[in-house]
Chain A
Amino acid sequence: GGIITQTPKFLIGQEGQKLTLKCQQNFNHDTMYWYRQDSGKGLRLIYYSITENDLQKGDLSEGYDASREKKSSFSLTVTSAQKNEMAVFLCASSMGQYAEQFFGPGTRLTVL
C-alpha cells in the first residue's frame, strides 16, 4: 500500500498573500491532481499532472500555479489569497489518467 501526505494540514494566510500547499505520494503513481472542495459544493479540479514536469489546467486553475518537480510530489500555489478562498484542498494520485484516484487528507485554508 501507499500513502498521500499533504502539508500543512491547516494553513492560515492573509488576503493577497502567496501560499503554497504540498503533496507527496509513495504509490509511484504517474498522475497527480489538486482539487478544491468548498462547503456545499463538489470537488473541482484545479490542476493535474500526467507525469513529472507536466502540468494540465483544470476547470478552476485561474489564481493558482502548480509545480511537479518530481514524480512523487506536486505542489499548488495560491498566487494571491482571497477571502472567498476558504476551502479544503485535496491532493490525489493515480497510476494513469483513467485509473483509481487515491486521495490525501486535505489542507484546510483560511484567509483572514
Chain B
Amino acid sequence: QQKVQQSPESLTVSEGAMASLNCTFSDGTSNNFRWYRQHSAKGLEVLVSIFSDGEKEEGRFTAHLNRANLHVSLHIREPQPSDSAVYLCAVSPTGYQNFYFGKGTSLTVIP
C-alpha cells in the first residue's frame, strides 16, 4: 500500500519568507500528485496538481516533483497570514483510481 509522509509536522514562517513543505511517497510509479490546503472547519482546496518530474507553478504556489527520489515538495512564495492552514499531499499510484493522503503540515504565518 502506498505510504505518504509529510514533513515537517508544523512550520512557522514570517510573512513574506518562503515556506517549503515536503512529501515522500513509497510507490515510484505514481503519476498524479496534488497539494491541498485545509483551513479549519472548511473543505480542502486544491493548490497544485503535478504529473511529471519538474516544476509546476500556480500563482504563489510551486510544486517540485522528483520521482526518482520519491519526493514532491510545495513552496509558497510570499506567504500571508491567511495562508495559515494545514497542507495535505495526495499521491495516486499508476492504475489506481484514487489518492493516498499524508497527515499534513500545519503552517502558521506570522505577520
Chain A: residues with CB nearer than 8 A to chain B? 4, 33, 35, 40-45, 48, 56, 58-59, 90, 92, 97-98, 100-106
Interface string of B38-57 (1 = CB under 8 A from A): 00011111100100000000
29 A-B pairs, CB-CB below 8 angstroms?
Answer: A4-B43, A35-B101, A40-B103, A41-B103, A42-B4, A42-B101, A42-B104, A43-B101, A44-B101, A45-B98, A48-B97, A56-B97, A58-B98, A59-B1, A90-B43, A90-B44, A97-B97, A97-B98, A98-B32, A98-B97, A100-B46, A100-B49, A101-B44, A101-B46, A102-B43, A103-B44, A105-B42, A105-B43, A106-B43
B88 interface residue per 8 A CB criterion: yes
| Bound form: Cα–Cα A71–B8 in Å | 39
Per DSSP, are chain B's interface residues mostly helix, strand or loop, or mixed? strand
Instruction: Assign chain B's interface to a size class.
Output: 20 to 34
**Chain B contacts with A in 15-51, Cβ cutoff 8 A:** 32, 36, 41-46, 49
| Bound form: Cα–Cα A104–B44 in Å | 7
Task: Please name the residue on chain A nearest to B100 by beta carbon.
Answer: A42
| Bound form: Cα–Cα A43–B45 in Å | 14
Query: Would B88 and A42 count as touching, CB distance under 8 A?
Result: yes
